[in-house]
Amino acid sequence: MSIKNWFLLSFFALLKLQIPFLLNKAYSFHRDELLYLALGKKLDFGFLEVPPMIALFASLIQNTVGESLWAIHLLSGVAGVALVILTGMIASQMGGKTFAILFAGFIVIFSPTFLRVHTLFQPVGWDILGWTWLVFLWIRHIKTQKGRYLVGMGVVAGIFFLNKYSIFLCIIAILIAILVSKERQWLLNKKLWVGIGIAFLIILPNLIWQISYGFPVFNHIKELNVSQLKNINPLDFIIDQFFMHLPVTWVWILGFTGLLKSQTLRPFKMIAVFFVVVILMLLLLHGKSYYTLGAFPVMLAAGAIAVERLTQNRTFLRVPAVMIPIILILPLLPFSIPILKPKKLTKYAATFTEKTGVESFNRWEDGKIHAIPQDFADMISWKEIATLTAKAYYEIPVEERKNIMILAENYGQAAAIDFYGKEFNLPKAHSFSSSYLLWLPQKITAKKVIFINDKIHQDISKTVGKQTLIGEIKDEYSRQNGNKIWLLENLTKEYYQLYENAIKEEKEVLK
């Protein structure tokens, strides 16, 4: 690319960097963000729900930039910047000229789902970047037939495997696309196997960790199937592929058809096969709609080339092509970025659905439509939980505070207490949920327990002499609405036995 194109593409990329800072003050950290910050305090080669990279990022940010909301979200913005530039580079490699290169980077900014993922500190944004980087190197190999790009694909695959295991689906889809093409001889290329060998060495520490804990990734997938993936309707999955990128859906459709029909894009036809394989695989596996996101930047790049060539003799049409994404994203912004307070967003969503009939933006993982998007509901009430926990803690006499345990039902509650609890000098929280299970003591000697959940289970009630309700989260927009904080006292022998049996049963899975 020319210096001019680099400069202009970088300008769009910097626009993308501003997105994480648009968060409304009514929202705080996301449930998963709080977990990743907790993982950053306990670095390891693996965790029960994610590979180690997000924890490494969390540790890096907390020990350098700090723990403010903007600081934590900054790294997600960096992933967005890289995606804008890489998408423009793909357009260039596929034969796009100045307009296609800049338009490809420009339209990445206007995908509602890309806006969302680059607002949150999660592995998803980096996963999309990893998929796109792999495809870029694949395209470079298609063009040059140089083996170093196959080696590079192995390096990138290994690194991003440590970010999110779903990169494996990208690798499978690429291999299938190559197998059904005339380029299947690539599979005999020594450089490809060198790349695979390097990838294996990169992921080996995490693989050893998985083996030592009985491959918890499979148990995590099983839990997802039971609690979330079973609620995914195949029709909704297909519809979401169009709505996730609504202002620029027409661009990726042009890109897909162009890869199939255009003579100039013919060398890259197998990328259309790759795209179809990704959609079909995740449809059959009942994957979440956003699991396909990594396959879309290359489609947008191909679409940008199609727009450039369709308008080469009518350049005046490029003005509406640029304006359409801007106009269409405006009514969708409140669903993409939490810029409206929950109450205003609820009214806006109701009006939007009434006028358009579209309600999928507020569909949660339970398959139902709620007042606001699930990610936004997961960004409310966490400090309140820590505050109520502190209230319970300081009701305990000073001399007894060293002998208490804070036990949360889920990782979000535990991580919120750990993050916000520093302000109240609270001890570390414990939980049987997610990677918090790894850090639980085998036995406890606590005389009192501060328990956080929406209810007290009957087996716990029977084993404590006294239970006092300290407070409850009351926020209809929060996913934590109804969470209660209890102070449990006069613990019986049965309670300690109940705890030991529970931890033995949970950790049995990790052997």
What are 185-198's pLDDT values in tens digits?
777 888 989 999 99
* Mean pLDDT of the 421-448 span: 93
Q: Which of 1-15, 52-66, 470-484 has the lowest mean pLDDT?
A: 1-15
The CA angle 502-503-506, to the nearest 5 degrees, is 85
* 401 exposure class (CB count in 10 Å sphere: 0-12, 13-18, 19+): middle
pLDDT band at 216 (very low <50, low <70, confident <90, very high): confident
The span from the CA of 302 to the CA of 119, in Å, is 25
Taking 90 as the threshold, does the pLDDT of residue 10 lie above it?
A: no
- Report the pLDDT value the prediction gives residue 2, as an integer from 0 to 100: 67
The percentage of residues in the chain with a pLDDT greater than 70, rounded to a whole number, is 96
Q: What H or E segment, with its residue span, contains residue 39?
A: helix 31-39
Give me the percent of the chain exceeding a pLDDT of 90. Answer: 64
The confidence score (pLDDT) of residue 133 equals 97
- 219 CB contacts (<8 Å, ≥6 apart)? 48, 509
pLDDT band at 35 (very low <50, low <70, confident <90, very high): very high
pLDDT, average across residues 377-386 = 95
pLDDT of residue 249: 94
What average pLDDT does the segment 20-48 reach?
89
pLDDT of 258: 93
**pLDDT score of 17:** 75
- Per-residue pLDDT of 280-320, as tens digits, reads 999 988 888 889 999 999 999 999 999 999 998 888 889 99
Please state, as a whole number, how many other Cβ atoms lie within 10 Å of the Cβ of residue 357.
Answer: 7
Q: Is 451 helix (H, G, I), strand (E, B) or coil?
A: strand
Contact (CB, 8 A) for 434 and 220: no
> Considering the entire predicted model, what is its pTM?
0.92
pLDDT at 231: 62
Q: Is the confidence at residue 140, as pLDDT, over 90?
A: yes
Average pLDDT on 317-325 reads 91
Structure tokens at 93: 């490699």
pLDDT of residue 20: 63
In a 10 Å sphere around its CB, with 0-12 CB exposed, 13-18 middle and 19+ buried, how is residue 501 labelled? exposed
Beta strands 404-408 and 429-431: pairing type?
parallel
12 or 479: which leads in pLDDT: 479
Q: What's the pLDDT score for residue 481?
A: 94
What's the mean pLDDT in 42-62? Answer: 95
Task: Read off the pLDDT of each residue in 352-365 and give the average, rounded to a whole number.
Answer: 84
> What pLDDT, on the 0 to 100 scale, is given for residue 360?
78
Q: Span 78-85, mean pLDDT?
A: 92
